[in-house]
Amino acid sequence: MIQHKNTLIRPFLKWAGGKRQLLDYINKYKPKNFNRFIEPFVGGGAVFLDFQLYQPLINDYNSELINTYKIVRDNINELIELLKVHNENHSEEYFYYIRSLDREESFSTRSAVERAARFIYLNKTGYNGLYRVNSKNQFNVPFGKYKNQNIVNEEVLRNVSFYLNESKTNIVCGDFERAVENANEGDFIYFDPPYAPLKADSKNFVSYTLGGFDYKEQERLKKVFKQLDERGCYVMLSNSSSEIIHKLYKEYEETTVIVGASRSVNSKASGRGKVNEVIVMNYNFNS
């Protein structure tokens, strides 16, 4: 475990649904002692970067995101130089040019570091920090009109790179179920899946997020949660405080807490502001 937290080890991306607002609660309710830490829906990385543990396993289904984490770890100097180029050329016209690159057949031949720099640039300059692709897997978030984009956050990037190397972070890309297949008794798994909509039920909850994380996926996640519980793992999950989630995790209601979180990164204004979320655990957080 890293003995002293480095405040410069923090998310270098904007991320819809990021957990910085919930960190106080997550730290309050996490197990006091555990073995390995696994985060199958890492997203912007607020939780594992705050914990700063040794040898965590982070996973996400988004291959461009995982490529970016690997480049931050393995090729930080070239990444920063490319980000400086993006910063120097930044304009609305340039944004749409960079965004259009994944429409070209040659995009697949671009280097991993070029793709990572593009990913960070579009994340920092696109509307509201969203990551969204169309049916052809092409990034389609519009330009965001910001006064300060902070495209080259060099100090944070270098500190995160140092941590990823020093901690020997295991970075993988794939399905959440595969990410935890080797979890053992005493390991701590934190699930932060795409949230269930607040106003929906299993009948009309079809697909509301990228990759179709629908009700069946929420059910599959609950099944994996239960399996890990039976395996002797410590499991924590955050989600919306919706009827769907309360029903799915009814057997864990005694170790479920409802918390309020501010949401500022959302495509709709109605999705911002204070909303209730739940933290579900399979262990007694008071002990």
The tens-digit pLDDT sequence of the chain (287 residues) is 455 799 999 999 999 877 888 999 999 999 999 999 999 999 999 999 999 999 999 999 999 999 999 999 999 999 999 999 999 999 999 999 999 999 999 998 999 999 999 999 999 999 988 888 888 889 999 999 888 889 999 999 999 999 999 999 999 999 999 999 999 999 999 999 999 887 765 444 443 344 568 899 999 999 999 999 999 999 999 999 999 999 999 999 999 999 987 654 444 444 445 788 999 999 998 75
Structural domains in the chain, sorted by start: 20-61+174-281 (3.40.50.150), 66-157 (1.10.1020.10)
The predicted structure's pLDDT at residue 190: 98
Q: Report d(CA 195, CA 277) in Å as an integer.
A: 9
Q: Report d(CA 9, CA 3) in Å as an integer.
A: 13
The predicted structure's pLDDT at residue 198: 79
The predicted structure's pLDDT at residue 3: 56
Q: Report d(CA 151, CA 156) in Å as an integer.
A: 11
Instruction: Give 182's contacts (C-beta < 8 A, 6+ positions apart).
Output: none
The predicted structure's pLDDT at residue 270: 47
Neighbour count for residue 50 (Cβ, 10 Å): 18
The predicted structure's pLDDT at residue 65: 96
Q: Report d(CA 234, CA 35) in Å as an integer.
A: 10
Residue 38 has phi, psi (to 5 degrees) of -130, 130
Whether 254 and 209 have beta carbons less than 8 Å apart is answered as no
The predicted structure's pLDDT at residue 218: 95
The predicted structure's pLDDT at residue 213: 85
The predicted structure's pLDDT at residue 149: 87
Strand-strand pairing, 37-39 and 57-60: parallel
Specify the pTM: 0.91
Q: What is the dihedral of CA 20, 26, 32, 33, to 10 degrees?
A: -70
The predicted structure's pLDDT at residue 200: 60
The predicted structure's pLDDT at residue 263: 55
